[in-house]
Amino acid sequence: MEERPFNDNSYQQFLNEEKLMGSKCKACGAVSVPPRPLCSKCYNTTMEWVPFRGIGKLAAFTSVFVGPPYMVKEGYNRKHPYIAGVVELEEGGRMDARIEGMDATRPELIKVGTPLIVTYLHRDEGIEKKTFLAFKPI
């Protein structure tokens, strides 16, 4: 399908194109997101790309009130917290992602298990341009 190496760089390129892509081992069928160049189950290296639908549910989360400098730069602080979560994907596997569309100031109301759908956050311009994986409630 695609002639891209099965690595972090390609994974990020796909995110920039609003695609959540993983790898599938042609030998044993093990699926991985993010992609991996070597199958950690059978040690084969013949992979193919598999698209993920971007549907899942919230497995764990936190509302971050004291963020690192790169999140502070985006305008987050004690008064404006953000949510980081772990999302269990429909096809199996999990991803770390930013969680949008939920009130980070009221984390006690957020439920593990909430159904989510993927969204992509495009940040900055020029050479610092990068797309971040995010999910929001369905």
Partner 1 sequence: MGNKHNLARGVTVVGAGMSKFGIYKDRNSKDFFIEAFQDMRASVDKGLDPRDIEALYIGNFSNDFFVHQAHWGPILAELIGHTPKPATRTEGACASSALAFREGVFAIASGFYDVVLVGGAEDMSKRNTEEVTEGLAMASVSYERDAGFTFPGVFGALATAYFHKYGATREDLMNITIKSHNNASLNPRAQFNMTIRDMMNAKIEKCKVRGEPVPTWKTEKEFLSDPVANPPVAWPMHLFDCCPISDGASCMLLVAEDIAHNFTDKPLYVAGLGQGSGRGLHAAEGLTYFEATRYAAQEAYEMSGLKPEDIQFAEVHDCFSMAELIHIEDMGFFKPGEGYKAIAEGQTRLNGSKPINTSGGLKCKGHPVGATGVGQLYEVWKQLRGEAGARQIPNKNLRVGATQNLGGTGGTCTMTILERR
Summarize as ranges the residues that interact with partner 1 (CB under 8 A). 8, 33-34, 59-72, 76, 78, 81-82, 84-86, 93-98, 107-108, 112-113, 132-133
**Rounded alpha-carbon distances, angstroms, from residue 136 to 29, 53, 58, 99, 122:** 29, 14, 10, 6, 15
Could you tell me the smallest distance in angstroms from the CB atom of residue 69 to partner 1? Answer: 5
Q: Which is nearer to partner 1, 6 or 61 (CB)?
A: 61
Tell me which residue has tokens 């190496």: 5
Residue 75 near residue 93, CB atoms below 8 Å: no
**CB of 14: closest distance to partner 1 in angstroms?**
14
Give the shortest CB-63-to-partner 1 separation in angstroms.
Answer: 4
Phi, psi of 71 (to 5 degrees): -85, -35
Give the nearest distance from C-beta 52 to partner 1 in angstroms. 12
Pick between residue 4 and residue 94 the one whose CB is nearest to partner 1.
Answer: 94
- Closer to partner 1 by Cβ: residue 49 or 65: 65
Contacts of 133 (CB under 8 A, 6+ apart): 15, 20, 95, 96, 97, 98, 118, 120, 121
CB 119 → partner 1: shortest distance, Å? 13
Q: Closest CB to partner 1 among 93 and 136?
A: 93
Nearer to partner 1, 3 or 22 (CB): 22
